[in-house]
Structure 1
């Protein structure tokens, strides 16, 4: 179980670094991105381990990756400027 936790934390860190390198212009500060990636992966591993009990390490890492990517996607900002249209009077 300790290896699952460490592995999922490393997986979340790797996913956060990749997201920061590829989408750095659309993400907030790097420390927030790294913390969100690790926390999302740890929470995903916890959820998957709780749901599947001893379902296998690969399934737990898969759940960790899914939740980590989902939590990182919540940090994304729009690429361009938002156009605001005035409502007709």
Structure 2
């Protein structure tokens, strides 16, 4: 179980790093992105491990990757939209 948690953490860091390198202009502060990637991966591993039981390391890592990617996608800002200023009152 410890190796699953370490693997999920490493997977979360790798996914966060990939998101930062590819979508840096659309993401908030990098520390938040890395923390979200790791937390999402650990949560995904926990949920998948709880659902499938012990002895299922690869599906647990797959669940960790899916939840981590979904968590990181929630941080993305829309591209190309400019903020409109409201008219002064």
Instruction: Establish whether TM, by shorter chain, passes 0.5.
Output: yes
RMSD, matched Cα: 1.4
Runs of 4+ in 1 over 3 A off after TM superposition: none
TM-fit CA distance, 1:46: 0.2
TM-fit CA distance, 1:75: 0.1
In 2, distance between residues paired with 1:50 and 1:4? 13
- Structure 2 gap segments, 5+ residues each: 85-89
Q: Does the residue aligned with 2:80 lie in a helix, a strand or coil?
A: coil
Q: TM-score, normalised by structure 1?
A: 0.90
Aligned length: 84
1:1-89 aligned within 5 A:
1-81=1-81
- Structure 1 gap segments, 5+ residues each: 85-89
In 1, distance between residues paired with 2:41 and 2:27? 18
TM-fit CA distance, 1:55: 4.9
Q: TM-score, normalised by structure 2?
A: 0.90
